[in-house]
Structure 1
Amino acid sequence: MSILSTDSVRERLEATFWERHANPWSAGTRILVYPVFMYAIYRRDAKLFAATLAFITVNPVLFPRPKRTDNYLSRIVLAEREWLDEGKGTMGLDYPNVLNVLNIPVTFYAFAAAIRRKPVGTLLGTLGVMAIKLWWTDAIVKETGVTGEGPADIPTVSDDSVAE
């Protein structure tokens, strides 16, 4: 990349963030870390809590850029990027953003149950948060029509269009 590139440093960092976060390992582990986070709260385990927060922080850039993005977990991330780039936000009374609004009280319920060490409430709240979040991500995948790229879709050095 040229030093005189028209892209700003911020734009390049954002592109790198989203490209790496589109790795299915990034998206998948980010989904699965929420129950660990809630367990850390429930158990009052400060080390697990800190480790979980650290993992959540570095997760989007921890994994390399994927070779293909035509899998469901990558499409979730690509759809979220497109959704946000279109200025549609994540909160609102319109569908599907209303799902994130509805997730606020469910999240508070899950946290309250974990803090009070109510195992059934913690479990139900955690599952509720995850289900609503996945419902929202599935909805934006459908709304944006993101399909991702398979190996045949990604330009290679041997492609004539790239070589010229």
Structure 2
Amino acid sequence: MDVTDRIAKTFHMDDEAWRRHANPWSVWTRFAAVPALLVAIWSRTWIGWWSLLPIGVVVAWLFVNPRAFPPVEHPESWASRGIYGERVWLRDRDRVPPDHRAVLRLLVLLGLVAFGLIVWGLVALRVWPTVFGATVLILAQLWRIDRFTRLWENARPGAAGGAGAATR
């Protein structure tokens, strides 16, 4: 079991949760949670220990989010196809072409660097590493979703060489 499997288990991501998470509202509100979390953490300088309240609200939202929206049975939007593609990747990594795997590894590395910048910026109360790290993190995540969208397009039922059984 690797990190992504552990994250999926932490969030209790069953098939229904994945279909709900594929709702574009779920995807885009999770992106909106990034700056909200950064401001909530930064707010410790303004409101002290009370900052735990907005931090807790954002973290709670991140746990509730995958179940908060109606399920998507047939992904049509870019975001929905990306989440369905992520599910294919998690279920059967052997079906992922080598070029996708290489890019996904690069994006994980970019995400780790971005996370490090965010932590540094939040600890040191420096704006530039916080904002730059968040920007890199979001761009890497968007690129990751795009790769998963391509994976879904190649693996969906009815696609040439599709992996329809792997997505159900």
CA distance in 2, matches of 1:112, 1:130: 17
- Where does structure 1 differ by over 4 angstroms across 4 or more consecutive aligned residues? none
Go from structure 1 to structure 2 and tell me whether the alpha carbon gap of 1:67 and 1:139 turns closer, same or farther (over 3 Å shift).
closer
Question: 2:3 is matched with which residue?
Answer: none
Tell me the percent identity: 25
Q: Contact conserved, 1:38 with 1:111, CA < 8 A, in 2?
A: no
What does the per-residue CA deviation read over 1:122-153, in whole Å, with 9 as the maximum and x for residues that have no partner? 111111111111111212212332698xxxxx
Distance in 1, matches of 2:132 and 2:103, equals 24
CA–CA distance in 1 between the matches of 2:123 and 2:42?
6
Cα distance between partner residues in 1 of 2:150 and 2:105: 13
Matches within 5 A, 1:1-150: 14-44=14-44, 45-66=51-72, 68-87=74-93, 94-145=102-153
TM-score by length of 1: 0.72
Question: 1:111, 1:122 within 8 Å by CA — same for their partners in 2?
Answer: yes
Mapped to 1, the partners of 2:83 and 2:91 lie a distance apart of 12
**In 2: Cα distance, 1:127 partner to 1:99 partner:** 13
Say if 1:79 and 1:146, in contact at 8 Å, map to a contact too.
Answer: no
Q: Which amino acid aligns with 1:134?
A: L
Is the 2:83–2:148 contact (alpha carbons within 8 Å) kept by the matching residues of 1?
Answer: no
Question: Number of paired residues?
Answer: 134
How much has 1:87 moved relative to structure 2? 2.6
Greater helix fraction, Structure 1 or Structure 2: 2
Kindly state the Cα deviation for residue 67 of structure 1 after the two structures are TM-superposed.
Answer: 6.4
The 2-side partners of 1:39 and 1:54 are apart by 16
d(CA) in 2 for partners of 1:146 and 1:66? 19
Tell me the distance in 2 between the aligned counterparts of 1:57 and 1:116. 28
CA contact (8 A) 2:81 2:149 kept: yes
Structure 2: 5+ residue stretches without partners:
1-12, 45-50, 157-168
Structure 2 equivalent of residue 152 of structure 1 = none
The structure-2 alpha-carbon separation of the partners of 1:15 and 1:146, relative to structure 1 and needing over 3 Å to count, comes to farther
Residues of 2 paired with 1:66 and 1:143: CA distance? Answer: 18
Alignment CA distance shift 1:66-1:139 (3 Å) = closer
- In 2, Cα distance between the equivalents of 1:63 and 1:146? 26
- Which of structures 1 and 2 has the bigger CA Rg? 1
What amino acid sits opposite 2:16 in the alignment? T
8 Å Cα contact 2:84-2:152 kept in structure 1? no
In the alignment, structure 1 segments of 5+ residues that lack a partner are 1-12, 149-164
